[in-house]
Amino acid sequence: MNQHLLFNFLIIGWLGLSVISFFILLVIPVPYGRYMRHGWGMTIRNKIGWLIMEVPSPIVFCVCFVVGQNSKTFTEVAFLVMWEVHYIHRAFIYPFRLRSKGKRMPIIIMLLGFLFNMINSFFIGYHLFSISDSYLNRWLMDSRFIFGLGFFLVGFVINFQSDYILLNLRRSGDSDYHVPFGGLFRWVSCPNYLGEIIEWIGWGTATWSLPSLVFAVWTVANLVPRSRFHHLWYQQRFSAYPFERKVLIPGLW
């Protein structure tokens, strides 16, 4: 079995795991944040857990770029910048902006997130920078890259703005939950997740690679069920929760 065929088998298996994960997460919310509960073993401070969980993504992907066998074209540099913009913020900035005094997460969830990000960033980075046909600079003018980059940037802005609104709901020392308003919260309960889904669909389109497209499926598999749980949680906790808000897609669901 040659290298490309073996890699494709691994990616198909990775895709299958995302489908299994989707159906599990429709029933069982991941126990961190508002769904934190007993029975999941030892815990760690929320901020440290987030840092450890996310840190493989910017590091592993960068290593794949540096040691990759493909030539370092401007297109591949653009991929590196797009990925690192998201994950440097997610790993090294976002956790320390959290106003989550006393909040913790199970160590097992942190380790599963760490493992997922390590495998996912390796699959994508290894494919883009080592075993794919080298992305020539003219790919930057391809409609798939232009459309995908636009989607990625729109998703990043939506995700960043929504996170900013959520982070500022609490004053210093406050650990309670509040109803968010502003931005796309006018129409949906989880625009932060909508932004991230758009972002990684854009990434998959811009790179036009199987591992990246599978990552977009993973993002949907993780965030669609969590968005549903969030929406129901808001409705149950706040009697005056805006009835016109949908779960994730304005005007539809």
* 81 belongs to a structural domain: yes
Give domain status of residue 188, yes or no.
Answer: yes
Domain total for the chain? 1
User: In this structure, is residue 250 part of a structural domain?
Assistant: no
Q: Per residue in 55-94, pLDDT tens?
A: 999 999 999 999 998 888 999 999 999 999 999 999 999 9
In a domain, 247, yes or no: no
Would you say the pTM of this structure is higher than 0.85?
yes
Predicted local confidence at residue 146, as pLDDT: 98
Does some domain include residue 54?
Answer: yes
* Structural domain boundaries enclosing 134: 15-237
4 domain-assigned:
no
43-57 residue pLDDT tens: 999 999 999 999 999
Judged by phi (left if over 0) then psi (alpha if -120 to 50, else beta), residue 51 lies in alpha
3-state helix/strand/coil string of 37-100: CCCCCCEEEHHHHHHHHHCHHHHHHHHHHHHCCCCCCHHHHHHHHHHHHHHHHHHHHHHHHCCC
d(CA 189, CA 241): 10
Domain-embedded: residue 137: yes
pLDDT tens for each residue of 167-220:
888 776 666 889 999 999 999 999 999 999 999 999 999 999 999 999 999 999
Is residue 133 domain-resident? yes
Quick one: pLDDT at residue 26?
Answer: 96
